[in-house]
Amino acid sequence: EKAGYKHFMLKEINEQPRAIRDTTLGRVSLDTGKVFLDNLAITPEEFRTANQITIAACGTSWHAGLAGKFMIERLARLPVDVDYASEYRYRDPIADPHAIGLLITQSGETADTLAAQAELIAKGSKTLAICNVVGAAITRKAAGTITTNAGPEIGVASTKAFTAQLTALFVLALHLAQVRGTISDAESLHLVDELSKLPGKVEDVLRSVDDQCQQLAKIFHNANDFLFLGRGVHYPIALEGALKLKEISYIHAEGYPAGEMKHGPNALIDEALPVVTIATKDPSDPSSVLKYEKTLSNIQEVTARSGRVIAIAIEGDEEIKHLVEHTIQIPQAAELLLPVLEVVPLQLLAYHIAVRRGCDVDQPRNLAKSVTVE
Ligand code: M6R
């Protein structure tokens, strides 16, 4: 059942090209750039008049939600709040019929996420679900569900469900943008084309970085701490890289927005601290280029203090290679889709480190696959 892989997690990491393809399938037209999300029971008029999207989720699904905020705000110009589902209902949150609730959950059975949904519904908001399990509890109360077609995920550490969630969020952001008229036809066509190339690029990454991640695991598996840095839509991926590592290898890891380093975490840097920095850019996007330049300065701050930088960078970026000890290269993609490629080496790095440390990768201590108690 592990199809020849040593662990479910590794099998599921390798299933990501298919998971992404199946989550896109039938939802976008390559000819027109149009997105089709049927059966949502939220009318185009409601999408047009919505003034707020509230996302609630836990763990890895929360990280997908945070990336989704960047996608929806950027493309559909609609404000998005991202809450931990476990916090949402305890503060008398502001929600009303003009807000749309979006619950993101692999299992569809997470108690906190169900409670957040109940709170949103009680306050008059319609809810949408992004869920990987057909017929799960969350989908029964939702006005509509976008199913991530990742297939059953067995490993406790979420991998293919995460990249499928990012894909679903990108499709939803495009849909909202088209309904609300905030995107041109040309831009839609371009982004749909980029989306269609994504599974092939993930395949390339899987092929090209695995050996290198094994080598890095050999070098760094004894570290006591790890930092993961990123800016903008890449910041949630830094958080996800840190969560994967702590969850399965039991190494303490933190994710930080790179620009926050000088406000405290720089004090942690020494020659024993590996700092994984996402330093990718989409040259066609000026704000992405600007972020990249700032991230290079953050990298220099780390190396000046003898920190050991592992950079995730775009293929052919020679500049960065001179600055850091290790560079993991990924293919070019549109800014909002780069996260899907960036997370793959982080998953593999966590996996190989955990294997080297002799950890139970598929069943980490103290954790359950779905958390059905609050
Ligand atoms: O099934 P859900 O997506 O609602 O689960 C949420 C979290 O419990 C889950 O993502 C957890 O953080 C994973 N073990 C992370 O790998």
* Ligand 1, pocket-test mutation among 370, 372, 373, 374, most atoms within 8 A of CB: 370
Tell whether ligand 1 has an atom less than 6 A from the beta carbon of residue 219.
no
The answer to whether residues 306 and 341 touch, using CB atoms and an 8 Å cutoff, is no
Inter-CA distances, 329 with 3, 100, 130, 225, Å: 28, 38, 30, 23
pLDDT tens digits, 249-302 = 999 999 999 999 989 988 999 999 999 999 999 999 999 999 999 999 999 999
* Per-residue burial over 242-281, b = 16 or more CB atoms within 10 Å of its CB, e = otherwise: bbbbbbbbebebbbbbbbebeeebeebbeeebbbbbbbbb
Q: What is the pLDDT of residue 162?
A: 98
CA of 128 to the centre of ligand 1 (A): 18
What's the N-to-C CA distance of the chain in angstroms?
32
Backbone dihedral region of 277: left (phi > 0), alpha (psi from -120 to 50 degrees) or beta? beta
The type of residue at 306 is S
Residue 38 has pLDDT above 90, yes or no: no
The type of residue at 154 is I
pLDDT tens digits, 93-146 = 998 889 999 999 999 999 999 999 999 999 999 999 999 999 999 999 999 999
pLDDT tens digits, 343-372 = 999 999 999 999 999 999 999 989 888 888
pLDDT tens digits, 291-344 = 999 999 999 999 999 999 999 999 999 999 999 999 999 999 999 999 999 999
Catalytic-residue membership of 141:
no
SS3 (DSSP) at 16 = helix
Place of tokens 């707020």: 52
- Helices 185-220, 16-24: axis angle to 10 degrees equals 160
* Ligand 1, pocket-test mutation among 110, 162, 360, most atoms within 8 A of CB: 110
Tell whether ligand 1 has an atom less than 6 A from the beta carbon of residue 247.
yes
- The predicted model scores a pTM of 0.98
CA of 371 to the centre of ligand 1 (A): 8
* Per annotation, catalytic residue among 123, 141, 197, 369: 369
SS3 (DSSP) at 281 = coil
Question: What does the mean pLDDT of the chain come to?
Answer: 96
